[in-house]
Amino acid sequence: MFLTQPVDVARQLSAAAGYETEALDRVDRLRLSEDLLRTNLSGFGSLRVVFGSNLTNHAEAIEAARKELQTMTGGAESRDDALSRLASRLPFPANKDVDDLVSGLQALSNHLESHTDRALSESALVREATRALSDIGASLWTDVFPTIERVHLAGMSMIESPLLDFVATIAATTPVDIHLYLRSGTGPLLTRRLESRLDPLDLPVRIEQHGQTTTSPPTVPVAELTASTRREETRIAMALVAGLLDEGTSPSDIIVVARDADTYERPLSHAADIYGHELSVWTQLPLTQTLPYKLLISTVRLLDAESVDAQTLCEPLLFGWTSPKDAETSPISYDAVTGARREFADEPPQSLTAWTETLGDSSFPQLTQLVEWARQCPESPSADEVRDVLLPLLDSHRETVLTDAPVHDSKAFSEIARTARALTRTETLVDELATKYREWVAREHTSASWGSLVELADAIATVRPGRREHANASAIDVLDATDTWLRKAPYVIAMGLVDGEWPQPTDGVFPAPLRDVVVAGDTPDAQTLGIQESWMSERERDHFDDAVTTATELLVCTRFETDLEGARYERSPYLSALDPIQIGHEETQNLLSQECLLPPSIRHIVEGSTGV
C-alpha cells in the first residue's frame, strides 16, 4: 500500500514526463501578487471595483478568491464559459461582481505566470499531470506506478475541478480502479455532483459514503445540558469530567470536543483549574505568540537596527537570550532586564559600538555579552550565516532556559512542553526561513539584510499547519471537531451546540448568490463547476457527525444561552436529530456542586458501561 497525496502523485507523473514539478508556495505567491497589485498592469481595474483602490491591502482576500475560481473551473475554457452564463443570470450587483472578479483574477493569474518559472500552485501541478497523462497515455502511469491496481481517494469533502479532472483522466487512460470515499454530511450532495460529471464518461470510478447519514439515529445514548453563559458551560463540562473520573473512568476514555477548540481553550482552562483537571488542548500552536519565536524576532530586529534604543537592546534578554558562545551563562531575571531598561531609558539610539562604551563596567554583564555577540554577527548575512547565527541561539535557549525551568505541577509541565514544541518549531522555521531567504535574494526580491527576515519569518510562521499538536497526552483531551475523524472514545462531551457556532455559517469571497447556485447544482452549467468546501453548510455536518460517532458509550451535548454582551444564542438544529435526554436545572446544579453529582440518567449509563 502506498499512502500519499494527490499532488505528490501528480509530481511523480510530471517528472517522468518532463513536465513542470515545482510550484510557488503560498508565501511566494502572496509576495509576488502584492508586488504586481501595486502596479497599473492591465486587467486590475476590475479588481479595484470589487476591493477598492489599494489592492495590496486585500491581497489575502484576492488570493482566496483566486483559489475559489480554480476550484470552480480549474482553468478549463468550457467551465469558464459555464461560469459566465451562470453569472449573467444572477441579480445585480452579484452578476457584475462575479464578472469583475473573474476578469481581474484571470488577469492576475496571467501576470503571475509571466513573472515566475514555476507553476502557480499545487492545483496547477495537478493540471500539469493531467495534461501529461492525456498526452502520453497509460504507459506513463505504468512506468511510474507499475504495481498500483487501485486508487483510493479518502475523506473527500469538496469538489476541486483540477483534482476531479485528474481522477477522471487516470480512470480513462489507465487500467486502475478508482474508489472515492465521501463524508457523511457532504456525501449526498457530492455524490449527486460527481455522478453528474463522471457517469456520462462511463469511467471505472466507485463512489462510497462512510459514516452515519444525517438522518441516522445515534448509536449511543445522548444527553443535553444547558448553561446560561459560555463560562458556566465550561464549568458544566469540567464537572462532568470530575463525575466520570469519580465513577472510575480513565482520563483517556474522555474527550471534550468543540467546533472550534481555540474558542474554548481559555475558559476551559479556567474551569479545569477549579476542578483540578489537567487538559491537553489539541490546537495549532500559535507560534508567533511563543517565547522562542519572540526571542528570534527580537534578536533579528536588534541585528538589523543601525541605531539601537534601550528598548530594542533589552528585548532579546527579556525573552531569554543567553550567549551561544558561553555554556556557563545564565539568563537574566525579568527584574534585572526591567532595571536595565530604566537605567538606560534616557540614552539616545546609538550604534552597537557606542553601546559598548555606554555600558562600560555596568552591573549588567549579560547586556554587555549581548552587544559583543551582536557586533560579531554579519551585517548582510547569507542564508548559511542566518542558520549559523540563529540556530546556536536557539540551542543555547534550550540548554540554559528550558532545561532549568522549574516544574512545580502539571500546569507548569504543560507550559514547558508548549515552549519545547515552540522551540522545535522555531528551529524548523529557521531552516525554512534561510531557504526562502536564499531564493528571494537570488531573484532580487529582497535585499540581503536582517530586516528582510522579519517580514518573511512572520509570513511563514503564520501559515496554519495542517497538523495539530498537543502538550500532554495523559491529560483530558480537548479536540477541535476536525480532529475527531476516525477516533473513538467511550465518553464524548460536545460543547457549543448553538446556532451560528455549530453549525457555522458558510463563507466565501465570491458573492453569496453565485455560491448558492453552484452548490445547488440545479442547472447543467452549475453541475460542471467545482464546489469550495466553505460554501457548503453540509461541511459543518461532517464535523458534527465525526464528533457524534467518536462516542462509543455516551455523548453529552452542552450549549449556552447568552454571551458576555447579553446576545442570545439559539439551540443548534443538529440537536433535534439526536433526541437527547434533557438534563434539568436542578440536576445541573447538583452537578455543579462540590460533590459533582452526575445526573441519574447519566450515572445509570456510566455504571452500566463500567460494570459498577
If asked whether residues 44 and 171 sit together in one domain, one would say yes
Q: Per the domain annotation, does 214 fall within a domain?
A: no
Q: Per the domain annotation, does 27 fall within a domain?
A: yes
Q: How far apart are CA 524 and CA 300, in angstroms?
A: 56
If asked whether residues 139 and 172 sit together in one domain, one would say yes
pLDDT tens sequence across 43-93: 999 999 999 999 999 999 999 999 999 999 999 999 999 999 999 999 999
Q: Per the domain annotation, does 389 fall within a domain?
A: yes
Q: Model pTM? A: 0.80
Q: How far apart are CA 204 and CA 195, in angstroms?
A: 12
Q: Per the domain annotation, does 1 fall within a domain?
A: no
Domain count, the chain: 3
If asked whether residues 416 and 564 sit together in one domain, one would say no
- Phi then psi for 90, rounded to 5 degrees? -80, 155
- The predicted model gives 135-142 an average pLDDT of 96
- The predicted model gives 450-478 an average pLDDT of 72
Q: Which pLDDT band holds residue 312 (cuts at 50, 70, 90)?
A: very high
Picking from 163, 187, 209, the residue at the C-terminal end of a domain is 209
Q: How far apart are CA 237 and CA 479, in angstroms?
A: 13
If asked whether residues 456 and 499 sit together in one domain, one would say no
If asked whether residues 565 and 549 sit together in one domain, one would say yes
Given 3-state DSSP classes, what are the helix, strand and coil percentages for the chain, each rounded to the nearest 5? 55, 10, 30
pLDDT tens sequence across 123-137: 999 999 999 999 999
Closest CA to 525 of 86, 198, 96: 86
Q: Which pLDDT band holds residue 407 (cuts at 50, 70, 90)?
A: very low
- The predicted model gives 248-261 an average pLDDT of 92
Q: Per the domain annotation, does 216 fall within a domain?
A: no
Q: Per the domain annotation, does 466 fall within a domain?
A: no
If asked whether residues 452 and 549 sit together in one domain, one would say no
- The predicted model gives 358-363 an average pLDDT of 80
CATH at 497: 3.40.50.300
Three-state SS annotation for 514-568: HHHHHHHCCCHHHHCCCECHHHCCHHHHHHHHHHHHHEEEEEEEEEEEECCCCCE
pLDDT tens sequence across 327-336: 666 777 777 8
Picking from 418, 435, 461, the residue at the C-terminal end of a domain is 461
If asked whether residues 163 and 29 sit together in one domain, one would say yes
Picking from 145, 180, 209, the residue at the C-terminal end of a domain is 209
**Which residue has 512545580 as its cell numbers?**
408
If asked whether residues 157 and 20 sit together in one domain, one would say yes
Cβ-contact 438, 383 below 8 angstroms: yes
If asked whether residues 34 and 161 sit together in one domain, one would say yes
If asked whether residues 308 and 435 sit together in one domain, one would say yes
Categorise residue 79: left if φ over 0, alpha if ψ from -120 to 50, beta otherwise. Answer: alpha
Q: What is the DSSP letter of 400?
A: I
If asked whether residues 555 and 600 sit together in one domain, one would say yes
If asked whether residues 40 and 156 sit together in one domain, one would say yes
- The per-residue pLDDT for 327 is 62
Distances (CA, A) of 501 to 8, 330, 519, 558, 582: 35, 47, 21, 13, 21
Containing structural domain, residue 563: 222-284+471-610
